[in-house]
Amino acid sequence: MTSDSEKERERLKEEYKEHYRKIREAKEKVRRSGYVKNVNDALQKMNADELLTSVDEFLGKVRTKMVGLEARLDVAMDHLMDDQPDEAELDEQMRKEKARETLNQVKLEMGLLYSEIEEQANGLNVDKTIGKKSDDESDEPLDTDRDKNDE
């Protein structure tokens, strides 16, 4: 008998579970249908003409703002183009700058070359022969050959 009562108890337990499951599903369907009803009501209340009018107003404002921004951009670009020198002036400035740099490089090299020559001359032990007065010639005047040619 106990086994029959246990079986009956298990059967009733399953029936209750099934019953509660159905109740939960029904409540969920009611809740979802409430959402759908609210959306449908909102759509029914909307007036298409008013909606289109408000969208048109919004687009008009956006277009007006865009036109103003484009005009400001054009003015700024024109101002920038007027302030910048043209290509011929830029090319001339580039040539002048390059010439200046080349001249400075040549001067630097010449200075270094002159320094190298001086260093080499100082390194050589050379006696000066031109313009040096020897002991014999130092007593004679330098213009003696001219005097002979004048006679």
Span 97-116, pLDDT tens digits: 999 899 888 877 777 777 77
Q: What's the confidence (pLDDT) of residue 128?
A: 63
Greater confidence (134 vs 15) lies with 15
Residues 9 and 38 occupy one common structural domain: yes
Is residue 66 situated within a structural domain? yes
HSE-CB of 15 using CA atoms within 13 angstroms: 6
Per the structure, how many domains does the chain have?
A: 3
Is residue 14 situated within a structural domain? yes
| Whole-angstrom distance, CA of residue 24 vs CA of residue 27 | 5
In 3-state terms, what secondary structure has residue 16?
A: helix
| Residue 133 scores a pLDDT above 70 | no
Enter the DSSP assignment of 136.
T
C-alpha to C-alpha distances, 122 to 104, 114, 117, 119, nearest whole angstrom = 27, 12, 9, 5
Residues 41 and 9 occupy one common structural domain: yes
* Phi-psi domain of 125 (left: phi exceeds 0; alpha: psi -120 through 50; beta: other): beta
Q: What's the confidence (pLDDT) of residue 126?
A: 61
| Residue 117 scores a pLDDT above 80 | no
Residues 107 and 117 occupy one common structural domain: yes
Helix extents (H) in 46-143: 48-83, 87-123
| Residue 71 scores a pLDDT above 80 | yes
pLDDT above 70 coverage of the chain, percent: 79
Residue 113's domain comprises: 86-121
Span 21-41, pLDDT tens digits: 999 999 999 999 999 999 888
Residues 56 and 95 occupy one common structural domain: no
Residues 104 and 66 occupy one common structural domain: no
Residues 106 and 117 occupy one common structural domain: yes
Greater confidence (81 vs 125) lies with 81
Is residue 21 situated within a structural domain? yes
The mean of the pLDDT values for the chain is 81
Unique residue bearing structure tokens 């000066």: 128
* Highest mean predicted confidence (pLDDT) among 50-54, 63-67, 110-114, 120-124: 63-67
